[in-house]
Amino acid sequence: MMFSLTGKTAFVTGGASGIGLAVAKVLAASGARVVIADLSDGAAAAAEFGGEYVGIDVSSESSVREALEAAVSRVGKLDVVVNNAGVGDIGPVITETEQGLIDKVTRVNHFGVMYGLKHAPQFMNDGGSIINTSSMASFINMPGSAVYSAGKRAVNSLTEMAALELGERGIRVNAVCPGYIDTAMGSGEEGRALCEAFTALGRPGTTDDVAGVFLFLASDASRYVSGESLRVDGGWHCGPTPRLLEKVIGTANVS
């Protein structure tokens, strides 16, 4: 019962594919009426699980507000808002990063969450839950991903700030920080090889691996959790794995 969302409503940006779609499905399966909001057409994806679709460009403040209005007109005031839409463009080193990439990644990943936090509360019931999709990259720096990492660290900061400001209404605000997840953004041989070497669990995650964490944060099971940025990275953050040590120094233990 703690995980039930019966009678609740949810709004998921970037819900037409990848992590957002998996989250939308698990929230719907747990009883919520779900609206997915995406730049890409998500009508067919939403129909498959009995949800609704509205268009949105999270990098535009007016679009975020309009999408929230449209969602409320379909399902009523919102209980769960997932600011998940993002782009994974990774640049070259800082000194060679072009303005176009700085603008695009910052506008979607950082400003998009800011606009969601600014406008969603007016469309939410007290006692609701906001979940922002951050990234493991907000904690662990990989050379070449400065703009992405900085934007995701900003998401963690906004998460704490909004948790403070919305606590009076009983609205909790948390972030999920996935490691490499097998989606259009996170898939590929490079990600797989890195996860085999760097994660305690020795593999990339699937969207189902991460969706349950969003359900936890959306539901009463996490009712005293707010302002948290929760890592879901297969244990990447714990330190060098035995497999990595074997490769670097020829033994799995430092003696």
Ligand X SMILES: NC(=O)c1ccc[n+]([C@@H]2O[C@H](COP(=O)([O-])OP(=O)(O)OC[C@H]3O[C@@H](n4cnc5c(N)ncnc54)[C@H](O)[C@@H]3O)[C@@H](O)[C@H]2O)c1
209 lies in the site for ligand X, by CB under 6 A: no
Q: Which of 32, 38, 198, 230 binds ligand X (CB under 6 A)?
A: 38
Nearer to ligand X, 86 or 121 (CB): 86
Q: How many residues bind ligand X (CB under 6 A)?
A: 29
30 lies in the site for ligand X, by CB under 6 A: no
Nearer to ligand X, 140 or 244 (CB): 140
Torsion sign across C-alpha atoms 187, 189, 193, 194: negative
58 lies in the site for ligand X, by CB under 6 A: yes
Minimum Å distance from CB 208 to ligand X?
A: 12
87 lies in the site for ligand X, by CB under 6 A: yes
Query: Candidates 27-35, 68-76, 82-90, 219-227 — which segment interacts with ligand X by CB under 6 A?
Result: 82-90
Task: Answer yes or no: are the C-beta atoms of 12 and 27 closer than 8 Å.
Answer: yes
User: Can you spell out the DSSP letters for the chain?
Assistant: -TT--TT-EEEEETTTSHHHHHHHHHHHHTT-EEEEEESS--HHHHHHTT-EEEE--TTSHHHHHHHHHHHHHHH-SEEEEEE--------S-GGG--HHHHHHHIIIIIIHHHHHHHHGGGGEEEEEEEEEE--GGGTS--TT-HHHHHHHHHHHHHHHHHHHHHGGGT-EEEEEEE-SBSSTTT-SHHHHHHHHHH-TTSS-B-HHHHHHHHHHHHSGGGTT--S-EEEESTTGGG---HHHHHHHHSSSS--
57 lies in the site for ligand X, by CB under 6 A: yes
115 lies in the site for ligand X, by CB under 6 A: no
Query: Candidates 26-34, 183-191, 222-230, 240-248 — which segment interacts with ligand X by CB under 6 A?
Result: 183-191
105 lies in the site for ligand X, by CB under 6 A: no
Q: Which of 3, 29, 31, 39 binds ligand X (CB under 6 A)?
A: 39
106 lies in the site for ligand X, by CB under 6 A: no
Minimum Å distance from CB 86 to ligand X?
A: 2
Question: Could you list the active site residues?
Answer: 148
Residue numbers at the binding site for ligand X (CB under 6 A): 13-14, 16-20, 38-40, 56-59, 84-88, 108, 133, 135, 178, 180-181, 183-186
